[in-house]
Amino acid sequence: MYSPKIDEGLIPVLYRLAKERKIPMTRLVNEILRNALGESLEDPVGAGNHPEGNSSGSLR
């Protein structure tokens, strides 16, 4: 499985936020990503909303 590297400058910020909220950093990052992605998570991969799937090459 692909595991992207988090930018080193973000680690201290994430660490402090996780400590303030008393949750693990992984849970914090998951929450942040889910909130940022929003409705994109409800659209399954291959549903046609990807630039590769759009024959015009433009984003929808």
Segment 8-28, tens digit of pLDDT:
999 999 999 999 999 999 999
Tokens of 25: 């950093």
Are the beta carbons of 19 and 27 closer than 8 angstroms? no
In this prediction, what percent of the chain has a pLDDT beyond 90? 62
Instruction: Give 37's pLDDT tier (boundaries 50, 70, 90).
Output: very high
Phi-psi sector, 46: left (phi>0), alpha (psi -120 to 50), beta: left
For 6-22, give the DSSP string.
Answer: PPGGGHHHHHHHHHHHT
pTM over 0.75: no
